[in-house]
Amino acid sequence: MAHWWSTDDITVDWLTQVVGVVDGFSVEPFAVSTTSVTVRVHLSSRDPSCPATVIVKSARPDHTGSDEPFRRDHLFYSRPPALALRTVAPCLHAHFDPARREFWLVLVDAGPVRHGNELVGLTRGKAHLTVAALADVHATFGRRAARVEWIPATEPIDHRRLGELYVRFVENFGERIDLRDLTVANRIVASIDAIVAHREQTSAPRGVVHGDFRLGNILLGRSGSDRPITITGWQGISWGLAATDLAYFLGTMDRSMRLDYGDTLITVYQESLSDAASGSLESLRRDVRDNAFICLVNVLVSWSATDPAPDSDELWLTLFGRACAFLTDLDGSRPVGAARSVMTYVDPTDESAHPPKPGGEWNETWYLDVADPAAGIGAFLRFGVGPENPDGWFALAVSGPHIPTVTVTESGFDLGRMQSVRTQTMSATHVPVIPLAHVHVTVDAVGAAYDDPAGVGRGVGGRPVGVRLDLHWYTSGDPYQYDLTRVYEIPCMVTGSITLAGDGLPTEPIPVDAPGQRDHAWDGQNWWHIQWFWLSAHFEDGTRVHGVDIRLPSLPSISMGYAQQPAAPLLALDKCRLVDADTDPDQVRAMTFALEPGSMTMTFRAVAQAPQRTQSVRGSVSVMPRAWGEFTRSDGRRGVGWVEWNTGSPNL
């Protein structure tokens, strides 16, 4: 039998037909599966509209099995224009001719990405984005259900074939399979007809089903990527019970992460569906539970289609164990995941630096602020390490209505576990005197003063001034650990002094006694290229509010935060959404946020500007407009605090 058309058959003439005028090209390996080969093609062209790179997917030349995966891939990428998806690579050209054994897809290249890997795992933030991406696909198809008759129905499970696959799996792995997993799998395989019959009697929502929604079919965007999440592997697309995709993703996660974070991911999925959600959160949890068995089925079917190899054996044995653990937890009347709780625990040892995770996108930052209207001064300090400044960076800004904006920036130093900085022009220390209760910060540096704060972002040199801080952050509320990513926030009262030395500056130290905030973030992902709107506020009645509205380039917005009232339980916010703003590229003058629960709005008016300018080791620059000022709640109560706008462009 003749070989399938392959990426080895790419020529300049072929590229010119499917992409446009091409003068030359080179091919870079991208991914290989049991049925297909995917490459990145670098193009050279005299036509400025020609893309620099494209992704080309084709059948494996020696593929001898069914051509159904190629037919479904072609169907999906040839879908109607109205079904444009923000989390799937746009298709420039799709072709399928089984008689001529030709199949190819030419896709828009998202740029720098990392292939998902179940054995490596993913951070909570990436898991959040992945589930939101799945919901976006389901919602897009759900809103146009009448137009998807071209999607084939999910095929029924053949109990006899499943039994044969299971026997082969057990024979292949033998004693490497945990006996507890065998007990679970025996019961599921023996009862598959009854389990499926029960599922089919439910009124669970139908929709598009990816069919193999796990980390191995996810591309994770890196700095400079067009999409934070790209879903691939659509060869098994069908129309069936939408909850099977979510159930399979949860069932292939590391068990400890699923137990800690699984229920939060179900909530994220439900909220990301927005108006396309057809049931309650409880009904969604039930649907996930009813479809959990599909994890075991998919593992057996997918394993049977792979070529035997030591690395793939480890993958499928791991996924088999995770699927059985998922079913065991459900049978034991345990929740799909641990329920979200606002009574969060922060480990005191997390005040220190953490060992970097592999993957090249490790970030760890410490942040502290204070706003003192009575003294007419505000300050923030942020320092840490990241993929664009792996040796460390430091940013400090001091501002007020009657003083210039003063900044101190440094990079390229060894931060160390004691969180201290020493260079030729500055020294700084950050000492957790009592972990989670008291931090002492000192800074002695030569900074730059700007009468026009816009000069900070534009890189205009300010006049040199002396800067000295001696401030103490004392915890005044409950430390709060987010479940999206490894970040804790601590409301504080701040005391001490700030001294500025230079022309037009106060001659005496400025005493500080005012509310502030501090946080510590560490995670294996690069957030800096994403746009967000952030606030930290302290109100006259003692309430502390912190929140962030994250705007993603191809996913639904994410918002989160908390509110703390004196002598009351901490309240996690379901929504903290920016609804109005008065900004320009250099400053934030006003912002209004809507918060839920409570149907409350908070309006911020700037008193003083303090933008943050960060330059990477490559020379690229990020400018983050920041300001401190007054907050007014919809109930009339007033407060003070900080806001920031990470523009997300230019990318760091």
Residue 334 sits in the same domain as residue 353? no
CATH classification of the domain holding 234: 3.90.1200
Q: What are phi and psi of 132, to 5 degrees?
A: -65, -35
Task: Please report the pLDDT score of residue 577 as a whole number.
Answer: 92
Task: Please report the pLDDT score of residue 472 as a whole number.
Answer: 95
Number of structural domains in the chain: 3
* Domain encompassing residue 73: 1-109
608-to-27, 377, 401, 559, 582 alpha-carbon distances in Å: 53, 8, 5, 26, 14
Q: Average per-residue pLDDT in the chain?
A: 88
Q: What are phi and psi of 308, to 5 degrees?
A: -60, 130
Residue 65 sits in the same domain as residue 210? no
Inter-residue long-range contacts of 421-429, CB under 8 Å, 24+ positions, other chains counted:
421/383, 421/392, 421/394, 426/394, 428/381, 428/383, 428/394, 428/396
pLDDT single digits (tens) 411-439: 877 766 557 788 888 899 999 888 889 99
Query: End of a domain among 109, 130, 154?
Result: 109
**CA 219/CA 231 separation, integer angstroms:** 6
User: Using CB atoms within 10 A of its CB, is residue 219 exposed (0-12), middle (13-18) or buried (19+)?
Assistant: buried
Which tops the pLDDT comparison, 394 or 530?
394
Residue 379 sits in the same domain as residue 437? yes
Q: To the nearest 5 percent, what fractions of the chain are helix, strand and coil? A: 25, 40, 35
CATH classification of the domain holding 410: 2.40.370.10
Q: Which two tokens stand for residue 246?
A: 């979510």
CATH classification of the domain holding 34: 3.30.200.20
Structural domain includes residue 96:
yes
Query: End of a domain among 109, 124, 147?
Result: 109
Structural domain includes residue 421:
yes
Which tops the pLDDT comparison, 360 or 3?
3
Residue type, 398: V
Buried b (16+ CB within 10 A) or exposed e, 255-270: eebbbebbbbbbbbbb
Overall average pLDDT of the 501-507 stretch = 88
Residue 77 sits in the same domain as residue 226? no
Task: Please report the pLDDT score of residue 142 as a whole number.
Answer: 82
Q: Which of 118-122, 218-222, 524-528 shows the lowest mean pLDDT across its residues?
A: 524-528
Closest CA to 255 of 188, 354, 178, 313: 178
pLDDT single digits (tens) 236-254: 999 999 899 999 999 999 9
Q: Which two tokens stand for residue 419?
A: 């969180």
The distance from CA 311 to its chain's CA centroid, rounded to whole angstroms, is: 27
Overall average pLDDT of the 313-339 stretch = 76
Which tops the pLDDT comparison, 228 or 96?
96
Residue 75 sits in the same domain as residue 156? no
Structural domain includes residue 652:
no
Residue 552 sits in the same domain as residue 425? yes
Residue 105 sits in the same domain as residue 117? no
Judge whether residue 147 has pLDDT over 60.
no
Residue type, 383: F
How many CB atoms lie under 10 A from the CB of residue 8? 11
Task: Please report the pLDDT score of residue 310 as a whole number.
Answer: 63
Model confidence band, residue 336 (pLDDT cutoffs 50, 70, 90): very low
Residue 415 sits in the same domain as residue 317? no
Range picked from 24-28, 80-84, 147-151, 598-602 for highest mean pLDDT: 24-28
Kindly calculate the radius of gyration of the chain based on its CA atoms and give it in whole angstroms: 27
Structural domain includes residue 307:
yes
Structural domain includes residue 366:
yes
Give the list of residues 6+ apart from residue 116 with CB closer than 8 angstroms, or none.
Answer: 122, 214, 215, 216, 217, 218, 219, 220
Residue 356 sits in the same domain as residue 410? yes
Residue 495 sits in the same domain as residue 554? yes
**CA 16/CA 109 separation, integer angstroms:** 17
Buried b (16+ CB within 10 A) or exposed e, 429-444: ebebeebbeebbbebb
Task: Please report the pLDDT score of residue 1 as a whole number.
Answer: 57
Q: Which of 320-324, 385-389, 397-401 shows the lowest mean pLDDT across its residues?
A: 385-389
Helix, strand, or coil here: 332?
coil
Residue 241 sits in the same domain as residue 226? yes
Task: Please report the pLDDT score of residue 518 as a whole number.
Answer: 96
pLDDT single digits (tens) 570-595: 888 878 999 999 998 889 999 999 99
Task: Please report the pLDDT score of residue 268 as a whole number.
Answer: 87
**CA 301/CA 158 separation, integer angstroms:** 11
Structural domain includes residue 206:
yes
Structural domain includes residue 651:
no
Query: End of a domain among 109, 135, 158?
Result: 109
Residue 19 sits in the same domain as residue 119? no
Judge whether residue 486 has pLDDT over 90.
no
Structural domain includes residue 480:
yes
